Amino acid sequence: MTVTLGMPTYLTRPPDQPAPTLTTPQPVTNLDELIDGTAACSCEAGDDNPH
């Protein structure tokens, strides 16, 4: 979502990545890439922040 009030181009969420339409099973070599694209924290501080 892009907001136009106060912060004109502040993107609150990353652009949607349409899910692929599969007809056959497809290997995923690196699951991290799948997670990072859809379900990982953008700033890292809220995700994998070491403590």
Distances (CA, A) of 3 to 7, 18, 20, 29, 33: 7, 21, 27, 35, 27
Count, residues near another protein per rule CB under 8 A: 41
CA distance 30 to 18: 19
- Least Å from the CB of residue 43 to another protein: 4
Residue with tokens 């991290």: 32
Question: In the stretch 1-40, what mask flags binding to another protein with x, by CB under 8 A?
Answer: x-x--xxxxxxxxxx---xx-xxxxxxxxxxx-xx--xxx
Residues that bind another protein (CB under 8 A): 1, 3, 6-15, 19-20, 22-32, 34-35, 38-51
